């Protein structure tokens, strides 16, 4: 690559990453501004007042509690579903496999609001009012698809002779599952649980349709944009950014380490 | 299926089958089907029944006067009987009225107003633009991270991509709200340059334009384009690129003949995700316009459900969006010659 | 040896018309085969010949589509792999990577509900049998190839099988280790006396270890015999060419006297044994092993079959000389011991005795 094109590429990358991070910087900075409307330009002095205000905001705290409840519910629903789907798909050998696969990944490929809407209508027609339960069901319909893809990828790397060997040594089907299959899947179960929880907490488009009059942390933030915009939102932003940076750094470090190790071999 | 039973036995296999069926049917197929069914009927109230009930109520009032005026006992019983008949008739008619008839019709679709249809077209057009722009911006970035950067720098860039990707969607939109607000970052810069005056409220109302929704959408969904492309490019053996260069191919031809064909599934998935997210985005127009600019299609759907309480029309609009997205998926799969299997991960 | 004493006696394995069909593909033709109790039995054949399918029918992972499988006289129909008195050693060994070595060995006992202390004691005894007494707490990945091999054996023996099934378990090892493990496997089999059914495509393995060998090709068992019989008296063209090397010369049969027939070949009329009593006029193949042919330079008493051939390549393989010759368009190979002199290229006289060669009906040959 010539020096000129290398330079152009580097400038391009720098501009791109500035584009990604400067807006987030604006959000974070405004959290420390004493001005009561979120702003970085009307600077009225540094404050941590808004952090204290957040700690007293009962609607937001309730929303957070709802988010955690929904997140745990989504883990409990989507992991068994995703795991079952992955088992079926990895053993089903006919054209039905592609049909089932298409159905099970479809929630990833259609807009989230439609999952919310269809859940609302379907469970409403069964007499379920919109609320936390419908939010769990709506989110699980697509989060289970992500979990299934994770499990499917892991199962494809499984050595099928291990299960055969266990059977041959006299293990019952249940013992094979419990002692061989599940331990092999354990890291993926953990990953899938964490991802399901994070996706659940973050979700807005599906949840806002399915949750009705109830609210989560994120739908509460969404409604604050209309009414009652204050730097408290920015404080939440700062917390989100800190958690994300920490988690992403850990992830990248682990991945980088693994890559190094596989290159060393 | 037989291999599943052979390995895990009948009870566990049945459990897997049951759970998958619950998911595929109960959480995916049935809700969509019920939504589509819902979009295909309207509730019709019979107006003639209403008139007849009103007429009956007036004659009932008259009879009651008669009853009060009645002199003889015989007259009283006669009028009382007439009243009872009238009341019974009113009761049956009212029962018919309160259970409106369910009529299957396409009118939920065909009665979409031209305003709403324009909004639908605008939403889809902007989603296509977001997709195209994201593809152009992201391809060089994904390629740089996967093949050009030394390992440590690549890891850092990866971190730089993951962090904004993982941060809540609403907060990403919110950042642009703060930038484009009436007294936001951009208007303040303009004020410093003396181009607008806050006192005179001559700021530029970015938030009231579709353009700002577009800008925020690109920012919010652009990373859904990077990762699929990066994932496929990462599996491309770098020696292939070197070999192409060694054989004297210019950079653009290496991309045209080696890199892009390899990245095709990733490009297809990236386009699918970006388009789907933009076309179905509720958060971006909701946060950015704050009700001060025209609706987007997702907001129309929301209104049908939670403001007009017209779920049937809402369902019809939802299905319109669903069909558009499915059409786009099929189109991309044909265009890039990829199967549904390539869309994993 | 207490462990050996604890093991059940071997049982016989009886295939009665057992066959396996996958869709339209006949993987194993209807097969009758009796493997005796306590025997070291090998099934030898090229990859894809159906030998692994037979093994999986015996172990219970496959149910024969026709016929039946009996173990120790009991019909195994409907009996799953976890209920059969067999244990299988997989080609890739299939050691459980997340369990320690002793947990691997004890897994079959765990499945049978044996208490942990007892499990550990018996696993330890088995690990000592395979000379891994001090490796029990390691993970399989920390062991060498040969050690992993022995863990797999110990794990299979722990369930006290009457029949041990081995699916090319040595194929991943290097040559030296493989030769060592052959001797070790044979010794273990002798010591515990159970039936071994050994699948391999490596004739060296089959010939050195087995009591009897079945040679299999395209789903059909072509011959079942002891190693020396198989080598010296192959009954089909495939067995003749798959087991050891053979020179093959096509021809037409003439008359047979006292088991020795005349066959008209491009090399002229030759004489050979006719074990199938083929009738005159039928097409046939003449097989003669490279080490049974010799150059007749100055031989005092020439053999009954003799002809001229051109020597064009000489490969010295240490103790042996491999001579590549050609006669009447036929390629021939002669192996002779290295006596210090190498024959010069050019025309030589070549010959063999009639009882060193066999005439067999034409059929599929094994191609390297």
Question: pLDDT tens digits, residue range A61-115?
Answer: 999 999 999 999 999 999 999 999 999 999 888 888 889 999 999 999 889 999 9
Q: Are residues B286 and B157 in the same domain?
A: yes
Q: Which of A168, A180, A184 sits opposite C81 (nearest CB)?
A: A168
Residue C6 has pLDDT above 60, yes or no: no
Q: Are residues B162 and B301 in the same domain?
A: yes
Q: Residue B242: inside a domain, yes or no?
A: yes
Residue of A163, A169, A180 to mutate when probing chain C, most C C-beta within 10 A = A169
Q: Are residues C17 and C41 in the same domain?
A: yes
The string of pLDDT tens digits covering residues A208-226 is: 989 988 999 999 998 888 7
Q: Are residues B5 and B86 in the same domain?
A: no
Q: Residue C366: inside a domain, yes or no?
A: no
Q: Residue C367: inside a domain, yes or no?
A: no
CB-based contact A174 B160, cutoff 8 Å: no
Apex B71 CA angle, B68 and B77, nearest 5:
75
The string of pLDDT tens digits covering residues B218-231 is: 999 999 999 999 99
With bands split at pLDDT 50, 70 and 90, how would you rate the model's confidence at B89? confident
Number of Cβ atoms within 10 Å of the Cβ of C367: 7
Q: Are residues C183 and C281 in the same domain?
A: no
The label of the residue with tokens 């306590």 reads: C38
Q: Are residues C130 and C223 in the same domain?
A: yes
The number of domains in chain B is: 3
Q: At what angle do helices C145-158 and C116-129 cross, to 10 degrees?
A: 130
The string of pLDDT tens digits covering residues B266-316 is: 999 999 999 999 999 999 998 888 777 788 999 999 988 888 888 889 999
Q: Are residues C22 and C89 in the same domain?
A: yes
Residue of B4, B24, B326 to mutate when probing chain A, most A C-beta within 10 A = B24
Q: Are residues B156 and B252 in the same domain?
A: yes
Residue C229, both tokens: 């019989």
The number of domains in chain C is: 2
Tell how strand C13-22 and strand C66-71 pair up: antiparallel
CB-based contact B19 A121, cutoff 8 Å: no
Q: Are residues C15 and C160 in the same domain?
A: yes
Q: Residue C326 sits in which domain range?
A: 238-360
Mean residue pLDDT of chain C comes to: 90
Q: Are residues B217 and B335 in the same domain?
A: yes
Min Cα–Cα distance to chain B from A101, Å = 8
Number of Cβ atoms within 10 Å of the Cβ of A190: 10
Cα B269 vs. chain centroid, distance in angstroms? 18
Residue A1, both tokens: 């690559």
Residue of C23, C52, C94, C167 to mutate when probing chain A, most A C-beta within 10 A = C94
Torsion sign (Cα): C230, C233, C237, C240: positive
The alpha-helical segments, DSSP class H, found in chain A are 3-30, 49-55, 58-91, 95-109, 112-125, 132-156, 160-168, 173-176, 182-202, 205-210, 217-224, 231-264
If you count residue pairs, one on A and one on C, with CB atoms under 8 Å apart, how many are there? 63
Min Cα–Cα distance to chain A from C54, Å = 15
DSSP code for B195: S
Instruction: Give me the domains of chain A, ranges plus CATH numbers.
Output: 58-230 (1.10.3720.10)
With bands split at pLDDT 50, 70 and 90, how would you rate the model's confidence at C297? confident
**Domain C-terminal end among B59, B74, B98:** B98
Q: Are residues C266 and C202 in the same domain?
A: no
Residue B256, both tokens: 């045209």
Q: Are residues C260 and C192 in the same domain?
A: no
Task: Report the side by side order of strands in the sheet with C195-200.
Answer: C86-89, C163-167, C195-200, C40-44, C212-217, C220-225
Q: Residue C51: inside a domain, yes or no?
A: yes
Q: Are residues C97 and C170 in the same domain?
A: yes
pLDDT computed for residue C294 by the predictor: 87
- Percent residues over pLDDT 70 in chain B: 97
Q: Residue B103: inside a domain, yes or no?
A: no
Min Cα–Cα distance to chain C from A219, Å = 43
Q: Are residues B208 and B302 in the same domain?
A: yes
What ipTM was predicted for this assembly? 0.89
A180 vs B307: CA distance, rounded Å: 53
Q: Residue C192: inside a domain, yes or no?
A: yes
Output the domain CATH number for residue C342: 2.40.50.100
pLDDT computed for residue A168 by the predictor: 93
Q: Are residues C147 and C283 in the same domain?
A: no
Q: Are residues B211 and B134 in the same domain?
A: yes
Q: Residue B154: inside a domain, yes or no?
A: yes
Mean residue pLDDT of chain B comes to: 88
Task: Report the side by side order of strands in the sheet with C74-75.
Answer: C25-35, C13-22, C66-71, C74-75
Q: Residue B270: inside a domain, yes or no?
A: yes
**Domain C-terminal end among C208, C237, C266:** C237
pLDDT computed for residue C4 by the predictor: 45
The string of pLDDT tens digits covering residues C96-125 is: 999 999 999 999 999 999 999 999 999 999
Q: Are residues C93 and C210 in the same domain?
A: yes
CB-based contact B169 A144, cutoff 8 Å: no
Q: Residue B71: inside a domain, yes or no?
A: yes
pLDDT computed for residue A265 by the predictor: 45
Q: Residue C365: inside a domain, yes or no?
A: no
C60 vs B25: CA distance, rounded Å: 36
Q: Are residues C176 and C117 in the same domain?
A: yes
Q: Are residues B21 and B152 in the same domain?
A: no
Q: Residue B3 sits in which domain range?
A: 1-39
B318 vs A206: CA distance, rounded Å: 13
The alpha-helical segments, DSSP class H, found in B2-113 are 2-21, 30-38, 47-69, 73-98, 107-110
| Contacts with B331 (C-beta within 8 Å, 6 or more apart), sequence order | none
Q: Are residues B279 and B252 in the same domain?
A: yes
Q: Are residues C156 and C191 in the same domain?
A: yes
C87-94 mean pLDDT: 92
Q: Residue B105: inside a domain, yes or no?
A: no
Nearest of C20, C114, C120, C14 to residue C64 by alpha carbon: C20
Q: What is the length of chain A? A: 265
Q: Residue B104: inside a domain, yes or no?
A: no
Q: At what angle do helices B114-143 and B311-336 cross, to 10 degrees?
A: 40
Q: Residue C368: inside a domain, yes or no?
A: no
Q: Are residues B143 and B63 in the same domain?
A: no
Q: Are residues B62 and B19 in the same domain?
A: no
C101 vs C135: CA distance, rounded Å: 7
The string of pLDDT tens digits covering residues B94-146 is: 777 666 778 888 888 887 788 899 999 999 999 999 999 999 999 999 999 99
Min Cα–Cα distance to chain C from A86, Å = 22
**Domain C-terminal end among C237, C270, C299:** C237
Output the domain CATH number for residue C67: 3.40.50.300
Residue A41 has pLDDT above 90, yes or no: no
Q: Which of A204, A241, A255 sits opposite B169 (nearest CB)?
A: A204
Q: Residue C57: inside a domain, yes or no?
A: yes
Apex B149 CA angle, A22 and A8, nearest 5:
65
The label of the residue with tokens 């705290």 reads: A61
Give this prediction's pTM: 0.84
Q: Are residues B140 and B271 in the same domain?
A: yes
**Domain C-terminal end among C237, C261, C279:** C237
């Amino acid at each position: 690559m010539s020096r000129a094109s290398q330079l152009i590429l580097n400038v391009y990358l720098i501009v791109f990453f500035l584009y990604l991070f400067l807006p987030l910087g604006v959000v974070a900075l405004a959290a420390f501004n004493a001005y009561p409307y979120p702003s970085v330009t009307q600077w009225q002095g540094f404050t941590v007042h808004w952090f204290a205000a957040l700690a007293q905001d009962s609607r937001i705290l309730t929303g957070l509690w709802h988010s955690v409840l929904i997140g745990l519910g989504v883990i409990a629903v989507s992991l068994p579903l995703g795991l079952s789907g992955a088992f079926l798909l990895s053993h089903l050998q006919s054209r039905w496999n592609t049909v089932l696969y298409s159905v099970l990944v479809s929630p990833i490929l259609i807009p989230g609001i439609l999952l919310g809407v269809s859940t609302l209508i379907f469970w409403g027609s069964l007499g379920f009012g919109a609320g936390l339960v419908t939010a769990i069901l709506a989110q699980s319909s697509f989060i289970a698809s992500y979990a299934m893809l994770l499990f499917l990828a892991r199962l494809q790397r499984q050595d099928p002779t291990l299960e055969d060997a266990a059977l041959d040594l006299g293990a019952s089907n249940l013992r094979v599952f419990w002692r061989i299959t599940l331990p092999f899947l354990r890291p993926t179960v953990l990953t899938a649980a964490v991802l399901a929880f994070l996706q659940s907490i973050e979700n807005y488009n599906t949840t806002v349709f399915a949750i009705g009059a109830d609210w989560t942390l994120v739908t509460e933030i969404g409604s604050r944009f209309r009414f009652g915009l204050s730097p408290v939102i920015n404080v939440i932003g700062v917390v989100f950014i800190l958690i994300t940076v920490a988690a992403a750094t850990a992830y990248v470090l682990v991945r980088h380490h693994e890559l190094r190790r596989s290159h060393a071999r | 299926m037989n291999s599943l039973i052979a390995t895990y036995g009948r009870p566990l296999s049945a459990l897997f089958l049951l759970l998958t069926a619950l998911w595929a049917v109960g959480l995916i197929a049935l809700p969509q089907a019920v939504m589509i069914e819902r979009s295909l009927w309207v509730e019709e109230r019979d107006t003639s029944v209403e008139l007849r009930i009103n007429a009956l109520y007036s004659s009932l009032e008259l009879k009651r006067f008669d009853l009060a005026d009645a002199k003889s006992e015989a007259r009283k019983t006669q009028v009382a009987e007439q009243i009872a008949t009238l009341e019974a008739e009113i009761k049956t008619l009212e029962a018919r009225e309160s259970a409106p008839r369910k009529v299957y019709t396409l009118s939920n679709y065909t009665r979409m107003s031209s305003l709403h249809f324009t909004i639908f077209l605008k939403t889809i057009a902007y989603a296509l633009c977001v997709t195209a722009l994201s593809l152009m911006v992201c391809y060089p970035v994904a390629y740089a991270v996967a093949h050009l950067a030394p390992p440590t720098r690549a890891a850092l860039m990866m971190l730089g991509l993951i962090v904004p990707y993982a941060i809540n969607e609403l907060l990403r939109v919110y950042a642009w709200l703060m930038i484009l607000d009436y007294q936001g970052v951009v208007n303040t810069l303009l004020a410093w340059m003396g181009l607008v005056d806050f006192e005179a409220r001559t700021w530029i109302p970015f938030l009231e334009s579709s353009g700002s929704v577009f800008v925020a959408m690109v920012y919010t969904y652009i990373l859904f384009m990077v990762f699929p492309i990066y994932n496929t490019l990462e599996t491309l053996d770098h020696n292939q690129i070197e070999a192409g260069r060694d054989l004297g191919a210019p950079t653009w031809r290496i991309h045209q003949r080696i890199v892009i064909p390899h990245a095709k599934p990733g490009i297809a998935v990236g386009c699918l995700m970006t388009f789907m997210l933009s076309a179905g985005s509720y958060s971006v127009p909701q946060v950015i316009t704050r009700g001060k600019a025209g609706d987007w299609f997702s907001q129309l759907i929301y209104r049908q459900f939670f403001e007009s309480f017209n779920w049937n029309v809402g369902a019809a609009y939802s299905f319109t969006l669903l069909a558009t997205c499915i059409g786009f998926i099929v189109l991309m799969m044909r265009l890039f010659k990829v199967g549904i299997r390539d869309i994993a991960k | 040896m207490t462990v050996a004493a604890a093991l059940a006696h071997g049982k016989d394995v009886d295939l009665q018309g057992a066959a396996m069909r996958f869709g339209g593909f006949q993987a194993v033709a209807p097969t009758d085969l009796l493997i005796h109790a306590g025997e070291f039995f090998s099934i030898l054949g090229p990859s894809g010949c159906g030998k692994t399918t037979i093994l999986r029918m015996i172990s219970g992972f496959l149910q024969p589509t026709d016929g039946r499988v009996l173990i120790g006289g009991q019909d195994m129909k409907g009996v799953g792999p976890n209920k059969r008195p067999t244990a299988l050693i997989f080609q890739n060994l299939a050691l459980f990577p997340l369990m320690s070595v002793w947990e691997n060995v004890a897994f079959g006992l765990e499945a049978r509900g044996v208490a942990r202390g007892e499990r550990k004691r018996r696993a330890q005894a088995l690990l000592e049998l395979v000379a891994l007494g001090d490796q029990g707490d390691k993970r399989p990945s920390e062991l060498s190839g040969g050690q992993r091999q022995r863990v797999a054996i110990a794990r299979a023996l722990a369930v006290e099988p009457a029949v041990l099934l081995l699916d090319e378990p040595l194929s991943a090892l290097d040559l030296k280790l493989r030769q060592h493990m052959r001797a070790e496997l044979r010794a273990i089999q002798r010591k515990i006396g159970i039936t071994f059914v050994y699948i391999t495509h490596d004739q060296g393995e089959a010939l050195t270890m087995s009591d009897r060998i079945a040679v299999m090709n395209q789903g059909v068992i072509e011959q079942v015999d002891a190693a020396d019989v198989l080598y010296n008296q192959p009954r089909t063209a495939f067995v003749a060419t798959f087991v050891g090397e053979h020179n093959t010369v096509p021809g037409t049969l003439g008359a047979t006297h006292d088991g020795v027939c005349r066959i008209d070949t491009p090399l002229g009329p030759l004489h050979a044994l006719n074990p199938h009593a083929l009738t005159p006029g039928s097409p046939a193949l003449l097989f003669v092993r490279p080490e049974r042919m010799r150059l007749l330079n100055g031989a005092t008493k020439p053999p009954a079959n003799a002809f001229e051939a051109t020597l064009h390549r000489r490969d010295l393989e240490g103790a042996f000389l491999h001579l590549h010759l050609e006669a009447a368009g036929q390629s021939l190979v002669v192996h002779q011991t290295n006596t210090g002199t190498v024959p010069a290229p050019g025309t030589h006289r070549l010959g063999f005795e009639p009882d060193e060669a066999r005439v067999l009906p034409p059929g599929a040959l094994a191609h390297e």
